[in-house]
Structure 1
């Protein structure tokens, strides 16, 4: 089973990229974030195109912001939207959807950004993550949590730690919140498979950061032990970030049981920019 997660930064804007990518990579399960569409609009836009490709869809969206979805060719059962007990800002936002696909409980999550350390939105982010942990603690053994977590797990996951001092995504409280999720037995499968490689999933649109490979790794696939043991490949599809009209994120792809393209990670194709010295 091939599972992918991708922050598309507006599914409507990314349609010319999304559908060919589905045909090319043929994922069995796709977790999308930042769809930026209400549920009826998502269905109207994608229903026929997804049905032609054999996908069912579970979407949880809102009109202009946020929004998550799961696309599946291997079943879509027990769909749950939102995170029980999670705070809103001020109202609940469309940031999580879960379903059982091919015998695995799959979550697509879009964690709040946090904006500025010590702000109200930052406190909201930490509270939201705590609520997510409480929900995941009661989940089944076969579990995948996929999405844009808006946290770089370690300094190795940003191009230059000094560039992020005083910013969100790298602070200790955020990283502790992510560690609390992983303490439930969830493995960061890309980093587990490629512990020493330079791997990013997000590059700001500005200042040619993608072409210089000045990015960060904030899109993760976290797997329970039972699922992590089935991983045969885990990689970032950097090609999907190239060309005209890309998202600022690249998809993360994980192959369970078999790897159709081989163990080709961690980044496909590899970045062209040289590794810059830190500091």
Structure 2
């Protein structure tokens, strides 16, 4: 089972890219973020015929997450537990059956949080606390579980080409990184770092100041795995070439392959 995550930065603007990616890489599951559309505006018709089932949580002009799966999606959840008043579309979760058992997959778009300190940063930290509580519940079920998405977290200095530029940013503040480590301390595994300790591995390059051309990137798109999923992990690939496509997303897909 190949599971990918990709912040497409507007699914309607990047539809041709998405269709190309699905054709070239043929992932079994794709977690999408920043759809920037409501459910009724999602391009279901254009995706019809690709063979993917869809679960999504949309929001007009902002946020929005989806799971695309070649297999049927079961037990779908559209909101992160912990705050019934939170109307932002940042979480969708589903159970995906495989040949060797099912995997529960959550697609998330964690808040950016800038500027910090601010209400936006407080919301980011509170959202991370809710994710921590949900992950703890899922880990207790001892099943293959994957949290995939744009975490808006630079975990370590080696995950940025120029970490000194990010010291005051909500993505790299000590409190942000501490809460990310709290997820790992629960027993989750960073899929990429389970396979390599190499530097220079990024998933986001800003549109400004020639960041892509200079490889001035950061790694903020992650797949976190329960022990049962980590035991089945075969490989992780950053599909970097999509950043060089015409009018690309500023993020690129990250794809992990599992023995499922």
Q: If the TM-score is normalised by the length of the shorter chain, which range does it land in? A: over 0.9
Partner of 1:6: 6
Task: Find the counterpart in structure 1 of residue 134 from structure 2.
Answer: 135
2:198 to 196, 199, 203: 196
1:60 lines up with 2:48 in the alignment: no
Query: Any conservation in 2 of the 1:151–1:170 contact (CA below 8 Å)?
Result: yes
Asked whether the equivalents of residues 158 and 216 of structure 1 are also in contact (C-alpha less than 8 Å), the reply is yes
The corresponding residue for 1:266 is: none
1:81 is aligned, of 78, 83, 87, to 78
CA distance in 2, matches of 1:79, 1:165: 37
**C-alpha distance in 2 between matches for 1:48 and 1:73:** 16
Output aligned runs, 1:1-279, within 5 Å: 1-42=1-42, 45=43, 47-86=44-83, 91-102=86-97, 103-139=102-138, 140=141, 141-257=143-259
Distance 1:194 1:74 in 2: 30
Instruction: Check conservation: 1:36, 1:64, Cα contact below 8 A.
Output: yes
- Relative to the length of structure 2, the TM-score reads 0.94
Classify the secondary structure of the residue corresponding to 2:237.
strand
- Matched position secondary structure for 2:129: helix
Does the 8 Å CA contact 1:86/1:132 hold for their aligned counterparts? no
Runs (5+) with no aligned partner, structure 1: 259-279
SS in 1 for 2:224: strand
Deviations along 1:115-142, whole A, 9 cap, x unmatched?
1221110011000110111112111321
| Distance in 2 separating the partners of 1:84 and 1:230 | 27
In 1, Cα distance between equivalents of 2:242 and 2:71: 24
Write out per-residue CA displacement over residues 78-116 of structure 1, whole angstroms, 9 at most, x where no aligned residue. 00011111376xx52000000011210000000000012
Aligned CA RMSD, in angstroms, stands at 1.3
Q: Are the counterparts in 2 of residues 50 and 56 from structure 1 also a CA contact under 8 Å?
A: no
Q: 1:188-218 CA distances to partner (integer Å, 9 max, x unpaired)?
A: 0111211123200000001110111001000
**C-alpha contact 2:35 2:65 (8 A) present in aligned 1:** yes
CA shift for structure 1 position 257 = 2.1
Structure 2 portions without partners, runs of 5+: none
Partner SS for 1:135: helix
Aligned-partner Cα distance in 2 for 1:34–1:203: 16
Query: Is the alpha carbon distance of 1:219 and 1:87 closer, same or farther for their aligned partners in structure 2, counting shifts above 3 Å?
Result: farther
Task: Call closer, same or farther: CA 1:253–1:159 in 2, change over 3 Å.
Answer: same
Structure 2 residue matching 1:11: 3-state secondary structure = coil
Length-normalised TM-score, structure 1: 0.88
- In the alignment of these two chains, the number of paired residues is 253
